[in-house]
């Protein structure tokens, strides 16, 4: 990891991402206007322990979804390394990439648009097995029936079309489809953000049950730290294409070190008492900088209430300040005292 070590050294890692960059070239509007480059993901590194849930959080435009899609090779990778179960994904193509994709599947954010409205639910779940030639036809039918039962759907519902299901039921179909090829890693891209709160809890509980039952590993993308606090073991916080803090769940919510993480955590009701401020909620001013032309130094400095001149000039390294806890902030010293809680004492 750039500027520091990944947490949990010695663990069995299923996914290892090193210095990942995803840049998108914009077309020129005319001969006088340069196109520019969007720095969607700009040199992030993280490792996901086998059997765990690794969360990537951040506000809209932070690059978290692009980072997850890049891990699946669903968007072009500009630079960096992606190793899944020890295999370098960035150099694979054709049949080799197709074979590796059996091991990694995705649950999409929107259960309404992610299912083919012209296909019956059973065919939707079976389709990945047909495309990747998993098992024989009879085995595929049995697998579909088994998955419907595991995600809480009735066997006869396999003959229905997506519009005949509720939002929560559609997401259960999406989960069953992701499980069809018996993957080891499932990317969950905001899987409950489009659902009612009560249904969110049901889907999150289902994901945990399936993880225990199938030994799954999750890469969980979300902007909601309340959801992440419930389901994730380790968390990376992204801002404008970079990871600004990374640690286990307990450490992140007990003592958020980066000012941006501090602001995000303050939005979680159960954590507000630790954030300070009159109403317990930290309200950031301004909008994130333009990813086409990111500022020098710390990218959060234009919105940080504690920024000093060095923050605007010098890019902070992502470094380990205590066991398994990494932060990218000039104002966090080796004593682990963040700028927003200088009186909290050393770690």
Note the pLDDT tens digit of each residue in 221-264.
Answer: 999 888 999 999 999 999 999 999 999 999 999 989 999 999 89
CB atoms within 10 A of CB 26: 12
How would residue 287 be classed by pLDDT, with cut points 50, 70 and 90? Answer: confident
User: What is the structure's pLDDT at 267?
Assistant: 79
Residue-wise pLDDT for 119-176, tens only, equals 999 999 999 999 988 888 889 999 999 999 999 999 999 999 999 999 999 999 999 9
Average pLDDT for the chain: 89
pTM to 2 decimal places: 0.89
In this structure, what are the phi and psi dihedrals at residue 112, rounded to the nearest 5 degrees? -85, -40
How would residue 271 be classed by pLDDT, with cut points 50, 70 and 90? Answer: low
> Which of 180-184, 223-227, 287-291 has maximum average pLDDT?
180-184
**pLDDT average, residue stretch 276-302:** 79
Rounded CA-CA distance 100/92 in Å is 9
Query: Which residues touch 171 (CB under 8 Å, ≥6 apart)?
Result: 107, 111, 191, 192, 195, 199, 203
Q: What are the CA-CA distances from residue 276 to residues 47, 263, 271, 334, 343 (Å)?
A: 32, 10, 10, 22, 12
Q: Is 26 left (phi over 0), alpha (psi -120 to 50) or beta?
A: beta
The yes-or-no verdict on residue 63 having pLDDT over 50 is yes
User: What is the structure's pLDDT at 312?
Assistant: 94
How many CA atoms, within 13 angstroms, populate the side-chain half-sphere of residue 178? 29
The yes-or-no verdict on residue 195 having pLDDT over 70 is yes
The yes-or-no verdict on residue 91 having pLDDT over 70 is yes
How would residue 9 be classed by pLDDT, with cut points 50, 70 and 90? Answer: very low
Q: Hey, what domains does the chain have and what are their CATH numbers? A: 13-103+183-332 (3.40.50.300)
User: What is the structure's pLDDT at 345?
Assistant: 47
Answer with the residue of higher pLDDT: 285 or 220: 220
């Amino acid at each position: 990891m750039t500027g520091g070590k990944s947490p949990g050294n010695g663990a069995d890692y299923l996914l290892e991402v090193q210095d990942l960059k995803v840049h998108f070239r914009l077309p020129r509007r005319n001969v006088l206007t340069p196109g520019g480059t969007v720095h969607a993901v700009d040199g992030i590194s993280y490792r996901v322990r086998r059997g765990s849930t690794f969360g990537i959080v951040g506000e809209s435009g932070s690059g978290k979804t692009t980072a997850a899609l890049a891990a699946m090779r669903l968007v072009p990778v500009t630079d960096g390394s992606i190793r899944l179960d020890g295999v370098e994904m960035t150099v694979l193509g054709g049949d080799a990439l197709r074979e590796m994709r059996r091991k990694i599947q995705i649950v999409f954010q929107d259960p309404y648009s992610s299912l083919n409205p012209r296909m019956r639910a059973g065919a939707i779940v079976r389709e990945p097995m047909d495309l990747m030639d998993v098992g024989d036809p009879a085995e595929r039918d049995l697998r579909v029936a088994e998955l419907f039962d595991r995600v809480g759907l009735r066997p006869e519902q396999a003959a229905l079309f997506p519009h005949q299901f509720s939002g929560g039921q559609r997401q259960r179909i999406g989960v069953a489809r992701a499980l069809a090829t018996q993957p080891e890693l499932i990317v969950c891209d905001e899987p409950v953000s489009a659902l009612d709160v009560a249904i969110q809890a049901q889907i999150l509980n289902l994901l945990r049950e399936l993880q225990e039952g199938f030994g799954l590993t999750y890469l969980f993308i979300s902007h909601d730290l309340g959801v992440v606090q419930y389901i994730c073991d380790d968390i990376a916080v992204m801002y404008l294409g970079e990871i600004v803090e990374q640690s286990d769940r307990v450490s992140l919510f007990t003592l958020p070190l980066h000012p941006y993480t501090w602001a995000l955590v303050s939005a979680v009701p159960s954590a507000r008492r630790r954030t300070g401020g009159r109403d317990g909620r930290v309200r950031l001013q301004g909008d994130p900088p333009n990813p086409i032309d990111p500022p020098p130094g710390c990218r959060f400095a234009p919105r940080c209430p504690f920024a000093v001149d060095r923050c605007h000039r010098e890019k902070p390294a992502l470094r380990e300040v205590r066991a398994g806890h990494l932060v990218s902030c000039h104002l966090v010293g080796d004593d682990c005292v963040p700028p927003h809680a200088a009186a909290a004492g050393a770690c």
